[in-house]
Structure 1
Amino acid sequence: MRDAVNKLWPEIQWIENPKLREKVAQTWVKALERSLLKPEDLNRIPFTLLVPNCPVTFMEHKRCVVHIARQSAEAMQEFMGRSLPVNLDTVIAGAILADVGKLLEYEIGPDGKSRQSERGEALRHPFTGVALALECGIPDDVCHVIAAHAAEGDLVKRTTEAFIVHHADFMAFLPFKNPKNVKAR
């Protein structure tokens, strides 16, 4: 399973702290072991069930979010880092783990289409993602990013790192809500 995680997530190598890097990889291993989805499913299922006929896969979306978050954090460090410090490892780890709980929230139905699992109906992915991350020893600042990246985070005071990942995620989601933005495949 570790080889599958390494193949899915070359961006894990961007995390400078080796202990955090290992814990992030281990969280993905644990999620895949508990998921009804297979690693290869992540390259074909839609990243969201909220957009009908979503043309972007889970991994396309996830990797895009990680890249947007990293580049945004680097720009913020360059121009505002003196006044607003940004922990790049926390941003990258949080972005990589933000949707790890979807592996427990999604399943593939008998019709071959993605759907919300019974667990997913009860617990959205920020909750299951934090549970997986805590089990693997992910630090609280990264768990905060996972917890606060979606709408659930609107009720807490987000850290700078959580704001970065939240906005990166929504940048790669909200344009799909307007069908005029989407090019048919």
Structure 2
Amino acid sequence: MRDAVKKLWPELEWISDAGLREQVTGAWVKAFELSPLTPEDLEEIPFTLLVPNCPVTFMQHKRCVVHIARRAAEAMTEFMGHALNVDMDTVVAGAILADVGKLLEYEKADGKVRQSQRGSYLRHPFSGVALAVEAGVPDRVCHVIAAHADEGNLIRRSTEATIVHHADFMSFLPFKNMA
């Protein structure tokens, strides 16, 4: 399964800390162990259930979020790095893990994706943090997972969580607003 995760996520190589890279990979491996979904499913299922007939797959959305977040972090570092420290590994790891909990929130039935029973109780930021903690992911990255969605509006987001939150919503809201 590790090879399948690395194939899904070539962006793992952007994480310079080998230990963190392994922890992020481990969280995805654990998610697949507990999920009814397969790596192949993520290339086909919609990234959200909130957009009817969503034309974008889970992996298209997720990889886009990682790329947007990384580019934003690079621009912020280039132009404001003298006044603002951005931890690139935290941004990339957090963006890769932000929706790992959806593997527990979603299931397939009759060829369609729907919310699982577990998902009706725990949204993906919560289950994602649980998976990440079990894999040994540091708190600073778990914070990004916890804060990337609307649940994060209740707390003060770190710089890295703010970047991932906005990257996620930049590639979600245009589709939600079209529905």
Same fold (TM over 0.5): yes
The alignment partner of 1:178 has SS state of helix
1:92 maps onto 2:65 in alignment: no
> Pairwise mapping of residues 28-177 of structure 1 onto structure 2 (< 5 A)?
28-109=28-109, 111-177=110-176
Aligned pairs, how many?
Answer: 179
Amino-acid identity (%): 74
| Structure 2: gaps of 5 or more residues | none
The alignment partner of 1:46 has SS state of coil
CA–CA distance in structure 1, aligned partners of residues 113 and 5 of structure 2: 21
The alignment partner of 2:107 has SS state of strand
Please, what is the CA RMSD of the aligned residues?
0.8
Q: For 1:14-65, what per-residue CA distance to the aligned partner results, in whole angstroms no more than 9, with x for missing partners? A: 0000100000011101101110001100000000000000000000000000
Tell me the TM-score normalized by structure 1.
Answer: 0.96
The alignment partner of 2:48 has SS state of coil
- Offset, 1:177: 1.8
CA–CA distance in structure 1, aligned partners of residues 175 and 57 of structure 2: 13
- Offset, 1:147: 0.1
The alignment partner of 2:146 has SS state of helix
Corresponding residue for residue 183 of structure 1: none
CA–CA distance in structure 2, aligned partners of residues 68 and 59 of structure 1: 14
Q: For 1:59-111, what per-residue CA distance to the aligned partner results, in whole angstroms no more than 9, with x for missing partners? A: 000000000000000000001111111000000000000000000000001x2
The alignment partner of 1:107 has SS state of strand
| Structure 1: gaps of 5 or more residues | 181-185
CA–CA distance in structure 2, aligned partners of residues 127 and 113 of structure 1: 24
Corresponding residue for residue 19 of structure 2: 19
- Offset, 1:179: 2.3
Runs of 4+ displaced beyond 4 Å: none
The alignment partner of 2:114 has SS state of strand
| One-letter code aligned to 2:76 | M
| One-letter code aligned to 2:64 | C
Corresponding residue for residue 4 of structure 1: 4
The alignment partner of 1:93 has SS state of helix
CA–CA distance in structure 2, aligned partners of residues 6 and 87 of structure 1: 22
CA–CA distance in structure 2, aligned partners of residues 161 and 31 of structure 1: 23
